[in-house]
């Protein structure tokens, strides 16, 4: 037995040694072969004859010119870089008279502060996303709290070889020093650029005209007709985003006639929308069509981050040309016509139905002593035509009236209580009308509650009272004391503290009138409320309405 076990152990050991020996030999042979192959490759490479190989050459540049290239070369020299410095308030020069445009400032609505103006019912949440192009890198656009100079950057374009330049008003707003840098200016000696003076500004359209001194004719852009631009057309933007001068981007016209700021600030601002990349510093630069013509001036962007998000807005060239021609005139200002009314855009369908019109402008207020008042127009009239030309909406009316010079006469067609009427109106000066509106005073609100009506609380969700002692002269109606959350009144936008002066065109003088009218309302009726803010009675009437549930 022991002998058998010994033989088995011996055979296992012998097999193991045999296998190990075989593997070792294979590894050794493989290494020798590999070394031999590697050595052979090195030997063969070192002996390869490359005398027949042709060296590579850098080819001569090819001119792959496209319309984009051509336009950039032609227009680029006329696009300038604008830099400004605003001194601390203690060092600022007096007499400039510049104020921030309300279009760019997040301010509460200014009811009744414009001529032929759209009444503003409240701040627009989307306005928070429309960022002003202060220019420069982030952080350079705000006033330094430590009293340091504030620097900003923008763009502009030369329209007259004698040195006249168009840019945005907000680029040079409140600036104490303005420099313009041409594309041909050398780096040394022109680090800040050439000093510029302000010829004139128009805050309603955010347009400014500058002038620099020159001893030779400067290159200029070619102005185009923005009415010819179509949605889908290729466009090019040139400017100085983030201090990167002569930057060219391309896109298309995304939309036309965009009004991005409702009410007073936006009534003269109807933009071309584009997806050409524009960023802080592009403001004031040109937007060009494929003929190399300026069809707009880059003015604003829609963004949540402060940089390009695919939506930009340019002031149309036709507006720019008209404003420029006024600003280079003897008075260096834009004079617009006015008839002295305010109106409310986007009326609820129920209000339009009650007042009986589809197209036209419902007058909210008539400024005492001005054109419309002298011609006999009243709040509640519906303007339908000007010199026989139909009026679609408030924007249409503003465009027609503002283009007329003060002193000219027009024929207004309007509807009053369902009857078509006409009046001859002498157009006035918008600036004087604005001054008159701004001087208006509101009354005190010391409510003298008289209870209201249970019927009104049930049907409408409000309680009202007679007007208190000391209410503004000429104001009639009832004062809203409370509004029930979720009620009909709440849903259509009625609020505590406003005065209801009429319901469905029926005047209200006291609570009794109010109760009588409300008692006749039933489910399914369209109800239109004419309301007035007693704190600003000169702002005129507002209209709220809906279908009674």
List the CATH number of the domain containing 414: 2.30.42.10
Q: What is the pLDDT of residues 75-98, one digit of tens each?
A: 999 999 998 888 765 444 333 222
54 falls within a domain: no
* Residue 33 pLDDT level (bands cut at 50, 70, 90): low
Q: What is the DSSP string of 360-374?
A: SEEEEEE-TTSHHHH
For residues 429 and 369, membership in a common domain is answered with yes
Rounded to whole angstroms, the Cα distance separating 208 from 195 reads: 16
For residues 126 and 238, membership in a common domain is answered with yes
Residue 122 half-sphere exposure toward CB, CA atoms < 13 A:
5
Give the CATH number for residue 92: 2.40.10.120
Q: What is the pLDDT of residue 498?
A: 92
Which residues are 526's β-sheet partners?
547
Strands (E), 367-454: 382-386, 389-390, 409-416, 419-426, 428-429
Distances in Å between the alpha carbon of 275 and those of 87, 136, 189?
Answer: 35, 21, 37
Q: What is the pLDDT of residues 168-180, one digit of tens each?
A: 999 998 888 899 9
88 falls within a domain: yes
**What's the whole-number mean pLDDT along residues 196-215?**
94
> Which residues are designated catalytic?
170, 206, 283
Instruction: Tell whether the model's pLDDT for residue 415 goes beyond 70.
Output: yes
Q: Is 482 left (phi over 0), alpha (psi -120 to 50) or beta?
A: beta
Q: What is the pLDDT of residue 229?
A: 93
Which residues are 499's β-sheet partners?
479, 532
* Residue 259 pLDDT level (bands cut at 50, 70, 90): confident
Rounded to whole angstroms, the Cα distance separating 206 from 502 reads: 38
* Residue 24 pLDDT level (bands cut at 50, 70, 90): low
The alpha-carbon radius of gyration of the chain (Å, integer) is 37
Of 286, 308, 333, which marks where a domain is finished? 333
Supply the range of the domain harboring residue 532: 454-547
Q: What is the pLDDT of residue 263?
A: 55
Instruction: Tell whether the model's pLDDT for residue 38 goes beyond 60.
Output: no
For residues 224 and 175, membership in a common domain is answered with yes
118 falls within a domain: yes
Which residues are 545's β-sheet partners?
528
Q: What is the pLDDT of residue 534?
A: 86
Rounded to whole angstroms, the Cα distance separating 493 from 515 reads: 20
If DSSP codes are grouped into helix, strand and coil, which group holds residue 320? helix
321 falls within a domain: yes
Q: What is the pLDDT of residue 447?
A: 36
As to burial, measured by CB atoms within 10 angstroms (0-12 exposed, 13-18 middle, 19+ buried), residue 5 is exposed
* Residue 99 pLDDT level (bands cut at 50, 70, 90): very low
Domains identified in the chain, total number: 3
Q: What is the pLDDT of residue 481?
A: 85
Instruction: Tell whether the model's pLDDT for residue 140 goes beyond 80.
Output: no
**What's the whole-number mean pLDDT along residues 132-161?**
60
Q: What predicted TM-score, i.e. pTM, was given to this entire model?
A: 0.62
């Amino acid at each position: 037995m022991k002998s058998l076990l010994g033989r088995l152990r011996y055979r296992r050991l012998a097999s193991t040694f045999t296998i190990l020996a075989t593997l070792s030999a294979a590894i050794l042979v493989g290494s020798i072969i590999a070394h031999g192959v590697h050595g052979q490759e090195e030997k063969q490479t070192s002996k390869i004859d490359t005398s027949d190989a042709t060296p590579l050459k850098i080819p001569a540049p090819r001119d792959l010119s496209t319309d984009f290239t051509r336009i950039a070369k032609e227009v680029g020299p006329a696009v300038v870089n604008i830099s400004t410095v605003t001194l601390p308030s203690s060092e600022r020069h007096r007499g400039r008279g510049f104020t921030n445009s309300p279009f760019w400032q997040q301010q509460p609505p200014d009811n009744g502060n414009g001529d032929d103006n759209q009444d503003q019912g409240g701040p627009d949440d989307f306005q928070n996303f429309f960022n002003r192009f202060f220019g420069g890198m982030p952080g350079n656009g705000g006033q330094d709290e430590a009293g340091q100079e504030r620097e900003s950057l923008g763009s502009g374009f030369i329209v007259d070889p004698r040195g006249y330049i168009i840019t945005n008003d907000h680029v040079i707003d409140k600036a104490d020093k303005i420099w313009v840098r041409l594309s041909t200016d050398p780096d040394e000696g022109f680090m800040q650029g050439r000093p510029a003076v302000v010829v004139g500004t128009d805050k309603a359209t955010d347009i400014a005209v500058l002038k620099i001194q020159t001893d030779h004719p400067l290159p200029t852009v070619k102005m185009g007709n923005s009415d010819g631009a179509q949605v889908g057309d290729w466009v090019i933007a040139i400017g100085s985003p983030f201090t990167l001068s002569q930057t060219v981007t391309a896109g298309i016209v995304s939309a036309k006639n965009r009004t991005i700021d409702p009410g007073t600030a936006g009534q003269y601002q109807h933009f071309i929308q584009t997806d050409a990349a524009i960023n802080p510093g592009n403001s004031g630069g040109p937007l060009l069509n494929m003929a190399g013509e300026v069809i707009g001036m880059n003015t604003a962007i829609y963004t949540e981050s402060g940089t390009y998000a695919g939506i930009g807005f340019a002031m149309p060239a036709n507006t720019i040309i008209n404003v420029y021609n006024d600003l280079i005139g003897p008075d260096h200002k834009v004079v617009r016509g006015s008839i002295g009314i305010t109106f409310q855009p986007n009326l609820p369908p129920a209000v339009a139905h009650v007042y009986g019109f589809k197209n036209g402008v419902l007058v909210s207020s008539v400024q005492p002593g001005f054109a419309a008042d002298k011609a006999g127009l009243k709040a509640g009239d519906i303007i339908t035509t000007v010199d026989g030309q139909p009026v679609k909406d408030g924007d249409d009316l503003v465009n027609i009236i503002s283009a007329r010079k003060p002193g000219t006469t027009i024929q207004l067609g309007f509807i009053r209580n369902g009857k078509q009427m006409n009046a001859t109106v002498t157009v006035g000066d918008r600036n004087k009308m604005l001054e008159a509106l701004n001087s208006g005073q509101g009354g005190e609100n010391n409510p003298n509650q008289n209870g209201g009506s249970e019927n009104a609380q049930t049907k409408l969700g409000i309680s009202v009272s007679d007007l208190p002692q000391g209410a503004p002269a000429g104001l009639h109606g009832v004062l809203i004391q409370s509004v029930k959350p979720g009620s009909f009144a709440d849903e259509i936008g009625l609020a505590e503290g406003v005065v209801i002066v009429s319901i469905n065109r029926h005047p209200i003088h006291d609570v009794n009138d109010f109760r009588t009218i409300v008692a006749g309302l039933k489910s399914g009726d369209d109800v239109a409320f004419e309301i007035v803010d007693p704190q600003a009675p000169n702002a005129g009437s507002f209209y709220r309405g809906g279908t009674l549930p």
